Amino acid sequence: MTSSTLAHTRPPFYRDTRTIAILLQVLFLIVVLVSGWFLYNNMVTRMAAGNTAAGGALSWSFLSQTAGFGISEGPTFRPEESYSRAYLIGVINTLRVGIVGVILATILGLFAGIARVSNNWLLNKLASIYIEIFRSTPLLVQLLFWYVGVIAALPTVQDAADLAGIGYLTNRGMYLTWIYPSETGRALTWWLLGGVLVGLLVSWLRRRQLERTGVPGSGALAGAAAFVVVVGVGYAVAMFTTAMPATTNYELRRGDRGVLFEDLNGNNAFDLNVDRGLAHVPITLFDADGQVIATGATDGDGAFRFVDLPAAATRIEWRTPAPLAISEPQRQGFNFAGGISLTPEFTALLLALVAYTGAFIAEIVRAGINAVNKGQWEASRALGLSTGDTLRMVVLPQALRVIIPPLTSQYLNLVKNSSLAIAVGYPDLFNISRTIVNQTGAEVQGILLVMATYLSFSLITSLFMNWYNKRVALVER
């Protein structure tokens, strides 16, 4: 019938959707390529006219050149080192503030979010005020407020605020008492790492055993115990087997400062990069009459310095330190020495990022908890669980499924927002990349490098959080 004639009438090729699709894509590709070429061409022309120091349009050779600038914090960096290492320090600094920030913001957000669903009216409203204020104002304003308004207004080093004996708060930063592995405790890091591994293993075994026997509980306690045992053994081993190096020597300068080191080349003088400074060793200084004039300890690089000595020191003695040394901040002239110090820039950035992101995380946690069916609360109440147990064992594990995807993007936001460090001068990767660009003129390369770094952070975080999300996802039959 008619169908046989219809089957053979095909639309003309220019009305065939498949052809149109291909043509459209080809057209699109041409437009993209032409405009890309146009932009690139302009750039090359202008850069050639502008005569930038970076050489050609896209030369990466500047990375191995000498940086020539110092970096105020992070791992030690000397101006003689290369731009690529300077950038690496920036990446480390970004990760430093990013990782600490993510942990603290999660804790703050979790508490604020739980407070937001609390049936205590006052606490609920307090959390809500915190969330609204910090979510509705720009992070940059908060950062500048913390940095210029709060930290710069703290007392000076001379009349530093005492933090109940654990440290000092000044406008030059925060100084806290800290525990460092000393010269004899160098191996402790490995014991610590081993302890973590053994702890994880034991807790996993214990959990499996508990699951088999059907006893409620987690393996966390057994794991923690294993960790403590391993670290304790490590400490004892370090204490009884490690001694000071036989070639311990010291160099004393200007009667009040110097360095204690292991004389590796045996020339009785300290050579940077050859001899090894001895960290956190207790020392005593004597003057020419053999009188004790000061006692103290070396710092992490083996150096020591004392101010206001009654007389010039001529000789020092050292004792074998315990594997772990407690280092207290002590006022030295216009600054503090010892302990751990957080610069005003780091502190301000951390505070701002944590307070800001915490508010967003709190809303996510609240939404997640609200997403858990009310019947779950009632059921666990009926089983006799307390509110805390209900939250911990019933509600939060279920809420986690809703919480994790938006939480991931908040973590990424925190890391991306840490680029605001440039507003306060914290040397994060973006700030350092600007310094490099300003010195070399490698504008395009600098931007590409920064973008690639942030994109890889995003990728790694997303991969990890996706893996975690799969772990907590609902396992359906």
Partner 1 sequence: MATDVHSPSWVNTNHPAPPQRPPASEVGVLGWLRTNLFIDIGNSILTIVTLIVLYYIVTNLVQWAIGAYWTPIWVNRKIFAVGLYPTAQLWQPALVLLMVSALFGVSAGQWGSMIRGLGFGLGVLLLALALIPIGLEAQLVMAGSLALLVVGYFIGARLPIPNKLLSIAWILSLPATLILLLGGLNFPAWGISWTFAPLVDTNLWGGLMLTMLLAVVGIALSFPIGVLLALGRRGNLPVIKYFCVGYIELIRGVPLITLLFMGMTMLPLFLPSNWGNPSQLVRAVTAITFFSAAYLAENVRGGLQAIPKGQYEAAEALGLGSFDKLRFIILPQALTKVIPAIVGQFIGLFKDTSLVSLVGLLELVAVGKAVIQQPEWLGVPGGVAKEVYVFVAFVFFIFSYGMSFVSRKLENKLGFGKR
* 198 contacts: CB under 8 Å, gap ≥ 6: 226, 227, 230
Using rule CB under 8 A, residue 354 touches partner 1: no
Among 72, 137, 156, 268, binds partner 1 (CB under 8 A): 137
Q: Which stretch binds partner 1 (CB under 8 A): 127-135, 298-306, 315-323, 376-384?
A: 127-135
Of all helices (H) and strands (E), which one includes residue 437?
A: helix 429-440
Which region, judged by CB under 8 A, interacts with partner 1, from 172-180, 185-193, 280-288, 444-452? 444-452
In one letter, which amino acid is 372? V
Q: How many binding residues for partner 1 (CB under 8 A)?
A: 58
Q: Which stretch in 41-49, 159-167, 179-187, 213-221 sits in contact with partner 1 by CB under 8 A? A: 41-49
Instruction: Kindly tell me which residue out of 21, 99, 161, 379 binds partner 1, with binding defined by CB under 8 A.
Output: 21
Looking at 5-13, 162-170, 327-335, 422-430, which segment touches partner 1 (CB under 8 A)?
Answer: 422-430
53: phi > 0 → left, psi -120 to 50 → alpha, else beta; which?
Answer: alpha
Task: Determine if 154 is a binding residue for partner 1 (CB under 8 A).
Answer: no
- Cα dihedral 295, 301, 303, 307 in deg (nearest 10): -70
Binding string to partner 1 for residues 385 to 404, with x set by CB under 8 A, is what? --x-----------------
- Cα(49)–Cα(178) distance, rounded to whole angstroms? 55
Based on CB atoms, which residue is closest to partner 1, 186 or 381?
381
77: left (phi over 0), alpha (psi -120 to 50) or beta: beta
Q: Which is nearer to partner 1, 298 or 431 (CB)?
A: 431
Residue 122 binds partner 1 (CB under 8 A)? yes
What DSSP string runs through 368-421? Answer: HHHHS-HHHHHHHHHTT--HHHIIIIIIHHHHHHHHHHHHHHHHHHHHHHGGGG
Residue 42 makes contact with partner 1 by CB under 8 A: yes
Residues numbered 357 to 376 that lie near partner 1 (CB under 8 A) are 371
DSSP state of 185: G
Helix (H, G, I), strand (E, B), or coil: what is residue 248? strand
**Is 85 one of the binding residues for partner 1 (CB under 8 A)?**
no
- Residues with Cβ within 8 Å of residue 114, at least 6 apart in sequence: 365, 369, 391
The Cβ of residue 215 has, within 10 Å, a number of other Cβ atoms equal to 8
CB 406 within 8 A of CB 106: no
Options 60-68, 210-218, 222-230, 454-462: segment touching partner 1 (CB under 8 A): 454-462
- One character per residue 236-265, x = contact with partner 1 (rule: CB under 8 A): ------------------------------
Q: Which residues bind partner 1 (CB under 8 A)?
A: 21, 24-25, 28-29, 32, 39, 42-43, 45-47, 49, 118-123, 126, 132-133, 135-142, 144-145, 148-150, 152-153, 371, 387, 412, 416-417, 419-420, 422-423, 430, 434, 437, 443-444, 447, 450-451, 454-455, 458-459
